[in-house]
Copies of this chain bind each other. A is one copy, B any other.
Amino acid sequence: MQTLSTEILTRTIRQRPADSYKGTYGRITLIGGNRNFGGAILMASAAAVYAGAGLVTTITDPSNQGSLHARLPEAMFADFNDLAQTQDLVKGTDVIVIGPGLGTSPQSLTILNNVFSVVQPEQTLVIDGSAITLVAQHQLALPQAHLIFTPHQMEWQRLSGIAIAEQTPARNQPVVNQLNATVVLKSHRTQIYTPTAVYENPMGTPAQATGGMGDTLAGMVGGFVAQFTNKTDAVLAAVYSHSAIAEELARTQYVVLPHQIIDVLPQFMKEHECKN
């Protein structure tokens, strides 16, 4: 097991090439936020925008349109009940993040299946939150794609069948291999599994233990993967950045709110970009 350090940042966060445009930094589509959990997809979307993704579309319950644009005019909006439009948007994207605030209702399942039905092998698909639960509950076939899962321990138990107390690398690795995915297993010390290696994030603070942190991380993972060539490094850098920013803020705050991590992300990435 390798322990992450700031080296993952300078290795991953390249200086932006002078002659680049929005498309250079990826198109990302985030799907989630039912009527009850709209804030989740707002935070995930903001994390993707502030990470530097080129073009961000949020596909969510129509009741979230106004609050999305009040907080984040940079994101485009679509109604997740419009299955045809969702398919078109998903097809034209590089990275898909599905799950933050999606819920586990029949409607949620319909939306998830609709997205899965059009994902293409060259796309990256980040499966988070209730989308993981739905995959596990309904034993959904996963689409061919670069798969990234971001479960907390209970969601990983649902997906892998491994009880929380038994989630060791030895037990986790075979399931990861079978999924042929990157798995960000969130806990006090988050571990990142790929089919060939395991990494541990040494950063993190109990000041982060508050609702919305996972949604924010999912959006950051999407934003990093959309921009940086090495997808594993991109995931690792996103996880490390998320916790490192929280630690920094926690020096002067008893609790760190997810939106505060998002707000300082552009500064943090600049400080840690590759210098040559």
Contacts of A252 in B (CB 8 A): 267, 270
Complex: how many Å from CA A266 to CA B207?
10
Would you call A20 and B206 a contact (CB within 8 A)? yes
Q: Contacts A210-B25, A255-B269; is A66 near B73 (CB within 8 Å)?
A: no
Complex: how many Å from CA A53 to CA B210?
7
Shortest Cβ distance from A45 into B: residue: B73
Docked complex: A30-50 residues within 8 A CB-CB of B: 35-40, 42-43, 46, 49-50
Would you call B74 and A19 a contact (CB within 8 A)? no
CB distance from A255 to the nearest CB of B (A): 4
Among A19, A36, A53, A273, find the residue whose CB has the most chain B CB atoms closer than 10 A: A36
Q: Contacts A78-B36, A266-B256, A269-B255; is A210 near B54 (CB within 8 Å)?
A: yes
Would you call B17 and A206 a contact (CB within 8 A)? yes
- The answer to whether A222 has its CB under 8 Å from any CB of chain B is no
CB distance from A185 to the nearest CB of B (A): 13
Would you call A69 and B74 a contact (CB within 8 A)? no
Shortest Cβ distance from A223 into B: residue: B255
Among A56, A72, A73, A267, find the residue whose CB has the most chain B CB atoms closer than 10 A: A73
- The answer to whether A80 has its CB under 8 Å from any CB of chain B is no
Docked complex: A249-269 residues within 8 A CB-CB of B: 250-259, 265-267, 269
Would you call A74 and B254 a contact (CB within 8 A)? no
Contact of A39 among B39, B54, B73, B259 (CB under 8 A): B73
Would you call A49 and B267 a contact (CB within 8 A)? no
Docked complex: A164-191 residues within 8 A CB-CB of B: 187-188
Would you call A273 and B257 a contact (CB within 8 A)? no
Contact with B along A210-234 (1 / 0, CB 8 A): 1111000000000000000000000
Would you call B269 and A72 a contact (CB within 8 A)? no
Contacts of A131 in B (CB 8 A): none
Contact with B along A120-154 (1 / 0, CB 8 A): 00000000000000000000000000000000000
- The answer to whether A6 has its CB under 8 Å from any CB of chain B is no
Contacts of A273 in B (CB 8 A): 254
Would you call B76 and A37 a contact (CB within 8 A)? yes
18 other A-B residue contacts (CB within 8 Å) besides A42-B69, A66-B67, A74-B210: A19-B188, A21-B209, A22-B213, A25-B209, A35-B65, A37-B76, A38-B65, A39-B74, A52-B207, A52-B210, A52-B254, A54-B210, A56-B211, A71-B73, A251-B270, A254-B266, A255-B266, A257-B266
13 contacts between A and B (CB under 8 A): A16-B207, A19-B188, A36-B76, A37-B76, A39-B68, A39-B69, A49-B210, A51-B255, A52-B255, A54-B210, A67-B67, A67-B68, A73-B258
